[in-house]
Chain A
Amino acid sequence: MRTWTVLRLIIVRNLRASPVRTLVTVAGVAIGVAAFTAIQAANESVLRSFQRALDVVAGRTTLQISAGELGIDERLLPAVQQVDGVIAAAPIIQAVAPVAGRPGKALVLLGVDLFAEDPFREYRMADGDRPPRIEDLLSPDAIFVTAAFVKENGLQRGSRLTLLVGSKRRRFIIKGLLAPQGPARAFDGNLAVLDIATAQVALDKVGQLDRIDLVTREQVSLSQITASLARVLPPHLAIQRPDRRSQQVEKMLRAFRLNLTALSAIALLVGLFLVYNAVSLSVLQRRRQIGILRSLGLTRATVAALFAAEGAALGLVGSLLGIGGGLLLGRALLQSVSHTVSALYAYLRVEQIQVGPGLLLLALSLGTAGALIASLAPAYAASRIAPSEAVHLGFYERRWIRRSPLAVLLGTLLLVASFLFSRPGPVGGIPLFGYLSLACLIFGVACFTPQLLRWAGVGLHLLCGGRRAPLLQLGAGNLSSQVGRNAVAVAAMMTAIAMLVGLTLMIESFRRTVELWVEQTIRADLIVSPAARFVKGSGARLPEDFVEAATRIEGIAALDPFIGRRVDLLGQEALLAAGDFEVVARHGKLLFRAGDSPAILTRAKGEGGVIISESLALATGLKEGGRLPLDLPSGRVELPIAGVFYDYATDGGKAVMDRALWTRVWGKQGADVVAIYLAPGADEASVRQRLEALAGQDGAIVISSNRALKAKVLEIFDNTFVVARALELIAVLVAVLGIFNVLWASVLSRQREIGILRSVGATRAQVARVVLGEAGFLGLMVEALGLLAGIYLSLILIHVINKQSFGWTIQFQFSWWVLLKSSILALGAALLAGYLPARQAARLNIPAAVAFEG
Chain B
Amino acid sequence: MIRLEQVAKVYSLGRVDVRAVDGVTLAIGQGEFVALVGPSGCGKTTLLNLMAGIDRPTSGEVWLDGECLDRLSDDRLTRLRRIRVGIIYQFFNLLPTLTAWENVALPLLLDGLQGSEIEGRVWRQLERVGLTHRAHHWPHELSGGEQQRVAIARAIVAEPRVVLADEPTGNLDSVAGGSVLELLQALNREHRQTIILATHSEEAAGRAGRIVSLRDGKIERIEKA
Contact = CB atoms under 8 A, between A and B. Distances in A.
Interface of A: 393, 466-470, 473-474, 476-478, 480-481, 752-753, 755-764, 766, 846-847, 850-851, 853
Given A474-B97, A474-B98, A467 B111 contact: no
Interface string B35-75: 00000000001100100101100000000000000000011
Contacts of A478: 97
A849 to B, nearest CB: 10
Which of B89, B91, B97: most chain A CB closer than 10 A?
B97
A74 B111 CA distance: 95
B91 A853 contact: yes
B197 interface: no
* Main SS at interface, chain A: helix
A477 B103 CA distance: 13
B33 interface: no
Contact of A468 (B82, B94, B115): B115
B97 A759 contact: no
Contacts of A850: 54, 89, 93
* Main SS at interface, chain B: helix
B160 to A, nearest CB: 10
A761 B82 contact: yes
A761 B97 contact: no
Contacts of A759: 52, 54, 81, 87, 93
Contact of A466 (B74, B89, B98, B110): B98
A601 B191 CA distance: 100
27 contacts: A466-B98, A466-B102, A466-B105, A467-B118, A468-B115, A469-B109, A470-B105, A470-B106, A474-B95, A477-B97, A478-B97, A480-B97, A481-B96, A753-B95, A755-B93, A756-B93, A756-B94, A757-B95, A760-B82, A760-B106, A760-B110, A761-B79, A763-B74, A764-B75, A764-B78, A850-B93, A851-B45
A466 B99 CA distance: 9
Interface string B154-198: 100010000000000000000000000000000000000000000
B24 interface: no
B107 interface: yes
A774 to B, nearest CB: 11
A473 B105 CA distance: 12
B123 to A, nearest CB: 12
Contact of B98 (A470, A847, A853): A470
A760 B55 contact: no
Contacts, number: 90
B102 A761 contact: no
Contacts of B54: 758-759, 846-847, 850
Nearest to B155: A760
B10 to A, nearest CB: 14
B111 A760 contact: no
Nearest to B80: A761
Contact of A477 (B87, B89, B91, B98): B98
B87 A760 contact: yes
Nearest to A764: B74
Contact of A763 (B78, B83, B115): B78
A760 B107 contact: yes
A760 B81 contact: yes
Contacts of B102: 466, 470, 473
A762 B110 contact: yes
A753 B96 contact: yes
Contacts of B154: 760
Interface residues of B, number: 35
A752 B109 contact: no
Interface string B126-170: 000000000000000000000000000010001000000000000
A389 to B, nearest CB: 16
A548 B35 CA distance: 112
Contacts of B55: 846-847
Nearest to A845: B55
B110 to A, nearest CB: 5
Contacts of A470: 98, 102, 105-106, 109-110
Contact of A761 (B45, B49, B78, B96): B78
Nearest to A468: B115
Contacts of B95: 474, 477, 753, 756-757
Contacts of A393: 96
A11 to B, nearest CB: 25
A786 B112 CA distance: 36
A476 B98 CA distance: 10
Which of B75, B99, B110: most chain A CB closer than 10 A?
B110
Contacts of B158: 761
Contacts of B83: 761
Contacts of A846: 49, 54-55
Given A753-B95, A764-B75, A853-B91, 12 more contacts: A466-B105, A467-B115, A468-B109, A470-B109, A474-B98, A477-B98, A758-B54, A761-B107, A761-B111, A762-B78, A763-B78, A846-B55
A536 B153 CA distance: 81
Contacts of B91: 853
Contacts of A480: 97
Contacts of B106: 470, 757, 760
B135 to A, nearest CB: 11
Contacts of B75: 763-764
A758 B52 CA distance: 11
A466 B87 CA distance: 22
Nearest to B154: A760
Contacts of B49: 846-847
B80 to A, nearest CB: 8
Which of A393, A467, A477, A760: most chain B CB closer than 10 A?
A760
Nearest to B50: A847
Contacts of A763: 74-75, 78-79, 110
A759 B49 CA distance: 10
Nearest to B157: A760
A473 B107 contact: no
B53 to A, nearest CB: 9
A473 B98 contact: yes
Which of B75, B96, B101: most chain A CB closer than 10 A?
B96
B115 A752 contact: no
A759 B93 CA distance: 10
A473 B95 CA distance: 11
Nearest to B83: A761
Contacts of A469: 109
A847 to B, nearest CB: 5
A757 B93 CA distance: 9
A481 B115 CA distance: 26
A752 B94 CA distance: 10
B217 to A, nearest CB: 15
A623 B105 CA distance: 75
A763 B99 CA distance: 21
A569 to B, nearest CB: 67
A78 B111 CA distance: 101
Contacts of B111: 761
A471 B140 CA distance: 20
* Chain A to chain B: the 9 pairs with minimum beta-carbon distance, closest first: A477-B97, A761-B82, A466-B102, A470-B109, A846-B54, A756-B93, A847-B49, A763-B78, A847-B55
Contacts of A753: 95-96
A368 B82 CA distance: 51
A755 B46 CA distance: 15
A466 to B, nearest CB: 4
A364 to B, nearest CB: 40
A393 B78 CA distance: 29
Contacts of B97: 473-474, 476-478, 480-481
Contacts of A851: 45
A841 to B, nearest CB: 14
A847 B21 CA distance: 14
Contacts of A473: 97-98, 102
Contacts of B82: 760-761
Contacts of A474: 95, 97-98
A850 to B, nearest CB: 7
A760 B106 CA distance: 8
